Structure 1
Amino acid sequence: MVEPGGELTKDEACSLLEAVGRKRDIESFEALFRYYAPRVKAYMARLTRDPNIAEELMQEVMITVWNKAGQFEATRGNAGTWIFTIARNLRIDAYRKNRRPDFDVNDPAFVADDAKSAENELAERQDATRLKDAMKDLPQEQIQLLTLSFFDDCSHSAIATKLNLPLGTVKSRIRLAFARLRAALEDGK
């Protein structure tokens, strides 16, 4: 049995840890706890600079040692290295968890857009229908220019190149198409 402040050899630590893993021996765990808990807590205090967090992490480490003692293999390393590896990994997990931003339910990216009212949706559909009807009355060349410019997102110079027309002609035909659409939509109100 290890006394507080006493030393524990590597072989003793390994046999205590194996006893905890095989038989869930509480006395062996108490001996490990008395020896390693203050050391793990000091290690965590050095890393976190917060005694409360160091205490919590030390408790987590020792609970993990109790729960995973059956996974310890003395042939692969000593008990102290195994315990401090658990401590390091838990510290990294805690650090990552604390660095994550809190989820803000009011963040515009997570707030659903307000649903359109039936009245607004009906008005938009009616406007779209009126626009389609007004476009049917335009000459085919103007419909083609509007389609390329606004639906296919082509620049005026790209349209001029594509249709082999002067740039000024493309611009004036688009302006003329807008004027005709505006007049048709205003008459239809």
Structure 2
Amino acid sequence: MRQVATNRDRTAYEQLFDVIAPRLQGQLSRLGLQRTEAEDIIQDVMVNVWVKAGMYLPEKGSVFAWVFVMARNLRIDRARKLRPQVLMDFSEYDEPDTAENPEEQTLRYSHLSALKIAMDSLSAEQREIYDLIFREELTQHEIAARLNLPLGTVKSRMRLAQVHLRKSMEKSS
């Protein structure tokens, strides 16, 4: 392995291949792989041995252990790629009915009508703040700057408007 890593010695690589390949073949066969699958994995492992020989660290384990870990990882990767994907045919199912039923529609219109009446009953200053929040999507700070008001005044008007709207909506329910 050292000769392959440092000198790219082809003779040393061939010798390594001759020792490792049969052992890998036996190990992969015991794991239930077909001969062609095992040969593909062995080929990939041996290419990795050639390319990554410099990464082998003898103090971490034997050459065989390093090679067998590579083979195991490749086998797992291949199994994941070949795992059948479960595809569902949704053509037989109806689309969900998203249309409102008449009761829901009536209730929604009733709530919208009550909200419009409640909004119309706000003071002009409170309605102006709500318009800036919901139509122009301004923050409280931006509203204060635009209307040249203190931030506390904007917050107070919002709070009073919320209380008024809540009471109006509770009365209409």
TM-score by length of 1: 0.47
How far the C-alpha of 1:90 sits from its partner, in A, is: 0.9
Deviation for aligned residue 1:143: 3.6
Per the alignment, residue 78 of structure 1 pairs with 62
- Counterpart for residue 71 of structure 2: 87
| 1:62 to 2:28 alignment | no
- Give per-residue Cα distances to partners, 1:78-123, cap 9 Å, x unaligned: 1111111111111111111111528x8xx77xxxxxxxxxxxxxxx
Residue 80 of structure 2 corresponds to 96
State the Cα RMSD in Å: 3.4
Q: CA deviation at 1:66?
A: 0.9
Identical counterparts, % of pairs: 35
- Structure 1 residues 142 and 101 mapped into 2: Cα distance closer, same or farther (>3 Å)? closer
Match for residue 8 of structure 2?
24
Please tell me the residue identity of whatever aligns with 2:47: I
Aligned residue for 1:22, secondary structure, equals helix
Q: Structure 2 matches for 1:36-51, cutoff 5 A?
A: 36-51=20-35
Question: How far apart are 1:144 and its partner, in Å?
Answer: 2.5
- Post-superposition shift, 1:48? 3.6
For structure 1, the 5+ residue unaligned runs are 1-16, 109-140, 149-160, 166-189
Who is 1:119 aligned against? none
Structure 2: which 5+ runs fail to align?
91-106, 115-168
**Corresponding letter in the other structure for 2:68:** F
CA distance in 1, matches of 2:113, 2:12: 81
Residue identity in the other structure for 1:45: S
Residues in 1 aligned to 2:45 and 2:61: alpha-carbon distance in whole angstroms: 18
| Structure 1 partner of 2:110 | 144
**TM superposition outliers: structure 1 runs of 4+ over 3 Å:** 145-148, 161-165
CA contact (8 A) 1:22 1:70 kept: yes
Distance 1:66 1:144 in 2: 76
Q: Structure 1 residue 46: deviation in Å?
A: 2.2
Secondary structure, counterpart of 2:31 in structure 1: helix
Q: Is 1:52 matched up with 2:18?
A: no
Residues matched between the structures, number: 105
Q: Is the 8 A contact 1:45 1:51 kept in 2?
A: yes
